[in-house]
Amino acid sequence: MAASGLRALVGVKRVIDYAVKVRVKPDKTGVVTDGVKHSMNPFCEIAVEEAVRLKEKKLVSEVIVVSCGPQQCQETIRTALAMGADRGMHVEIPPKDYENLGPFQVAKILAALAKKEGVNLVLLGKQAIDDDCNQTGQMTAALLDWPQGTFASEVTVDGEHLTVEREIDGGLETVQLKLPAVVTADLRLNEPRYATLPNIMKAKKKKIDVMKASDLGVELTSRVKVLSVEDPPQREAGVKVESVDALVAKLKESGHI
């Protein structure tokens, strides 16, 4: 069957851990990342899990994980390998370029890799919890000229097609895509497994290829400039009132009634 020959490319991003309180740099150029705990973007975990499950169902023959970024990204790739991916690819981006690396540049890298590796399914998280862009999957699909199933909450493979249930405003939409295709994972797609210590140890034997963006013929210049990064406005302190009359007076004063 053709479907058993499916090969999946899964993109993973190393982000500041979801439980960490993010601090903005005093010069407003970004957020503090030094000495801060990082982990795999939760939506990418869901994408990895889905690929591994498809492999366990024998619908996918190989799961390749890729991450773009500095050296430390290899830890994130290892985590994905511990979850069950077959091999990793690390597109090393020097720290200077990494600051300007946006969804467009990553999409170009992913599209180039998808072509190079001859995969027929690209699985990504719907967005990263650090920049919240929600663009990489869509741009990758556009660059490859493949159909896309974004915000997936269920994926089924049947032959040459993929049926994707999508989370849209107010409900679910079911679409059928012809393979090859790009799918981005929403929160309810699955429950990612934990990368256990024995599996992390076993994953050390798996291969990670390291390459540069230029090896793939991808230009990293960005047309987007970050002007300023700022904290969200702080919640103002409330007031305590002594009586109902005082409350009504206060509400009138603030124009609520």
Partner 1 sequence: MANPLRNEVVNLYKNLLHLGREYPKGAEYFRAHLKAAFLKNKDVKDPEKIKQLIARGEFVIKELEALYYLRKYRAMKQRYYEDEENKHC
Segment lying near partner 1 (by CB under 8 A), choices 63-71, 75-83, 187-195, 236-244? 187-195
Instruction: Decide: is 197 part of the binding site for partner 1 (CB under 8 A).
Output: yes
d(CA 33, CA 183): 29
The one among 22, 24, 31, 129 contacting partner 1 by CB under 8 A = 129
Segment lying near partner 1 (by CB under 8 A), choices 107-115, 186-194, 203-211, 230-238? 186-194
d(CA 21, CA 36): 9
Q: How far is the CB of 172 from partner 1 (least distance, A)?
A: 13
The one among 198, 232, 238, 255 contacting partner 1 by CB under 8 A = 198
Instruction: Decide: is 42 part of the binding site for partner 1 (CB under 8 A).
Output: yes
Residue 210 burial class via C-beta count within 10 angstroms: exposed 0-12, middle 13-18, buried 19 and up: middle
Q: Are 226 and 220 in contact (CB under 8 A)?
A: no
Instruction: Decide: is 194 part of the binding site for partner 1 (CB under 8 A).
Output: yes
Local structure of 117: helix, strand or coil: helix
The DSSP string of 48-113 is HHHHHHHHHTTSEEEEEEEEEESTTHHHHHHHHHHHT-SEEEEEE--HHHHTT--HHHHHHHHHHH
The one among 18, 32, 56, 229 contacting partner 1 by CB under 8 A = 18
Interstrand relation of 14-16 and 38-40 (parallel, antiparallel or unpaired): antiparallel
Instruction: Decide: is 19 part of the binding site for partner 1 (CB under 8 A).
Output: yes
Binders of partner 1 among residues 61 to 100 (CB under 8 A) are none
The one among 27, 34, 145, 191 contacting partner 1 by CB under 8 A = 191
Tokens standing for residue 239: 């007031």
d(CA 84, CA 63): 8
Segment lying near partner 1 (by CB under 8 A), choices 64-72, 99-107, 188-196, 249-257? 188-196
Q: How far is the CB of 129 from partner 1 (least distance, A)?
A: 8
Instruction: Decide: is 257 part of the binding site for partner 1 (CB under 8 A).
Output: no
Q: Are 76 and 67 in contact (CB under 8 A)?
A: yes
Please, what sign has the CA dihedral across residues 54, 59, 61, 62? Answer: negative
Segment lying near partner 1 (by CB under 8 A), choices 173-181, 195-203, 233-241, 244-252? 195-203
Instruction: Decide: is 187 part of the binding site for partner 1 (CB under 8 A).
Output: yes
Query: Where do contacts with partner 1 occur on this chain (CB under 8 A)?
Result: 18-19, 42-43, 129, 187, 191-194, 196-198, 200
